[in-house]
Amino acid sequence: MSGESTSQRDVFDDCRRVVHSVLGGYNGTIMAYGQTGSGKTHTLIGDVADPELRGIVPRAVEALGEGIAADDSGAEYEVRLTVVEIYCEKIRDLLDPLGRDNLPIKQGLDGGMFVEGATEVCVADEEQLVGVMEAGLAQRAVKATAMNSASSRSHCIVTVAVEKACPDGSTVSGKLRMVDLAGSERQDKTGAAGQTLVEGSLINRSLSALANVVSALTEGGGPGGGHVNYRDSKLTRMLQDSLGGSARTVLIINCSPCADNAAETLSSLRFGSRALGIKNTVSANRRLNPEALQRQLDEARAQIEALRQEVEALRAAGSSTIDGGGRFTAGATQQGATAVVASEREEPLQQVPGNAGALAHASSSSGVGGGLQAAGPWVEPLACGFALATSMLLYMGFEDWLLRQHGYLVG
């Protein structure tokens, strides 16, 4: 919960753990929702040139850069950036000099959504990443209304993809999606007319589709439940992994402190309250290369062979103890039975992920041995408090699983 006096740094600190988890292979989403003029763009973007007024997006970019620089494991990183906007239900590439629009949305092999054909820039350092991001944001559709002199006329989505090649041959990939939603509008307040009115109508329609998805998810929809119509709008389709999917999601509800906007503020708070019921099943994206899969297979085979030899040795030591099928005979002693049972429960069997058969199947069926492995999954509900202020945060907590899985907190 953040009041009017809350600094931009304090707001980002509440999102920091989601940002850092991207380096561990988790997908994350930070999204700002609220009526027009309530401060969403200020919260997410802010004044990039001012260290105090910078928003979440430039701070997240900086945090990712610091995390990569602090990694002394020998891993190699690749960072890619895309910036798109959804304007009048058409997806426009903000990094394309030609301004291509109406790009299609596709679903990747990992279940995540991406914009096919969107410009994806590989960046070498934090400075270049910020520069590319600023260039993209400068192309965003903005227009003055009676309520906002620089009203965003589109939903803007900044995506930072991080891929880490680990020394053990595995690849860890995470994606951070930061979404500055266009504000909901009332024509009698904005004074919109002509094209501006059309834009406002389409913005409200997509936000209505977003509200419908949230309601469906909180009423039991999603995986294993009822149907959730993500295809009602380009926005909900893009956010499919963020709402009811595998991403960690922070939802910021921006509210105007003006009494004249009380009805819109109440509507935004109700939206946030419904979103509390969404539970995402988060998991890390870890992929083994063919060499790593073969190494695991060889280790499993070696352990199986060692155990086989141990059983053969026990069989040779006393043929009256074990019959040809590996079963104890009537003359087996309690000591012999204990020895064999103990050998079958040796710990090394539990240290290899899966078994030899599963590994062989993964290696042969995938062709390139690039099967996706997921850490988790863990179910993460939303949790938040509410107050009438400039903004407030809804955060999917994940400290418990960090402590349970790794014994420490990130950040």
- Find all residues with CB under 8 Å of 385, minimum gap 6, and list them: 1, 392
Q: How far is Cα 190 from Cα 36, in angstroms, rounded to an integer?
A: 9
- Find all residues with CB under 8 Å of 3, minimum gap 6, and list them: 387, 389, 390
> Is residue 357 a known part of a binding site?
no
Q: How far is Cα 61 from Cα 136, in angstroms, rounded to an integer?
A: 14
Q: Which is nearest to 29 in space by CA: 235, 221, 206?
A: 235
Chain-centroid distance of CA 10 in Å reads 22
Q: How far is Cα 167 from Cα 75, in angstroms, rounded to an integer?
A: 6
For the record, the structure tokens of 82 come out as 């895309």
User: How distant, in Å, are the alpha carbons of 15, 81, 145 from that of 57?
Assistant: 11, 12, 25
> Is residue 43 a known part of a binding site?
no
> Is residue 35 a known part of a binding site?
yes
> Is residue 39 a known part of a binding site?
yes
DSSP letter, residue 97: T
Work out the number of other CB atoms within 10 angstroms of the CB of residue 125.
Answer: 12
Peptide bond into 377 cis (omega under 30): yes
For the record, the structure tokens of 251 come out as 């939802």
- Determine phi and psi for 194, rounding to 5 degrees: 60, -135
For the record, the structure tokens of 71 come out as 């990694």
| Numbered residues of the known binding site | 34-41
Binding residues for ATP: 34-41
